[in-house]
Amino acid sequence: MSARYHLEDLLLLMARLRDPQQGCPWDLKQTWQSIVPHTLEEAYEVAECIEQGDYDHLKEELGDLLFQVVYYARFAEEEGRYDFADIVDGLTAKLVRRHPHVFPDGTLQSSSAGDASQIDTAAVKSRWEAIKAEERQQKQQAESVLDGVPQALPAITRALKLQKRAATVGFDWGDPLAVLDKLEEELAEIREALAGGDAQQVLDETGDFIFAAVNLARHLKIDPEAAVRSTNRKFEQRFRVVEALCAEQGQALTVARQEDPATRIDLQQLEAFWQEAKRRERQEQADETFP
């Protein structure tokens, strides 16, 4: 049985890959910017494994994501900025600071924390946000509570973070029903924009509608990114059934472009196939629930 590798081995591996004389040509060409798309992809693959309950495969994806951190740490070390140990030190210090209910004396060795079951979760979250706000103030004199929300985030995730920040100072709807009213208002404005034929206004109002939908998800305590990913998977599964049903009848799924009327399939039939796909999905779910 071979010996187990450790974190130090991974850091050594990265150093070897980036060695100017004997390293890997591909790794030597990489930069801070070129690795970013890989990092985002690995993060989403981690999320997908968790959402699908594939925890065996998750181990591999977590390793791939960790490798991204090691990459950035190596870039920083080569430029004399900091190294992996500095990243770990800064992260640990920050988390100790943000958990005073667990580390009351501000050290990792704290042993006088109270009973976790007796801690008010809402109070902990409030304190967490207050500490983060204090940290932002120390880093720079913030002009807005929205400062520091990364521009590069996926739009839906950034919308959620902006809304959460605004809510910390009371700029928020009182309940989900109020957000539903806002959604209906935005939908009416989309209809009005469509009637007016103004493309820019249609874009703006559609964005407002999506932003309000994110707000509704937040009030319902639903992660909007996870919700949309789930819907994407559901749509894909159903659409593949529609394709299969079309093929079974020798019909082509090209409504707009198919020239042969004998093989063209109309939207009414597609809707029937879609409903059949939904019926099969419900049946599969029922079969799983009652084996």
> What pLDDT is recorded for position 212?
97
E strand spans, 51-119: none
Q: How far is CA 204 from CA 159, 171, 193, 195, 217, in A?
A: 15, 21, 9, 14, 20
Give phi and psi for 128, each to the nearest 5.
-60, -45
- pTM to 2 decimal places: 0.66
What's the CATH class of domain 7-82?
Answer: mainly alpha
Q: What is the pLDDT of residue 19?
A: 97
- Joined together, the tokens standing for residue 149 give 């929300």
β-pair partners for 252: 264
Measured CA to CA, the distance from residue 106 to residue 97 in angstroms comes to 6
Please give the Cα distance from 94 to 22 (Å, whole number). 37
Q: Which residues of the chain have pLDDT under 70?
A: 1, 110-120, 122-125, 128, 132, 135-142, 252, 254-264, 289-291
* Superfamily of 155-222 according to CATH: MazG-like (1.10.287.1080)
**pLDDT at 285 (0 to 100):** 81
Listed residue (52, 110, 11) closest to 232, CA to CA: 52
Question: Six-digit token pair at 25?
Answer: 């040509």
Angle formed at CA 97 by CA 93 and CA 102, multiple of 5 degrees: 110
The pLDDT of residue 278 is 92
Q: Which residues make up the CATH 1.10.287.1080 domain(s) of the chain?
A: 7-82, 155-222
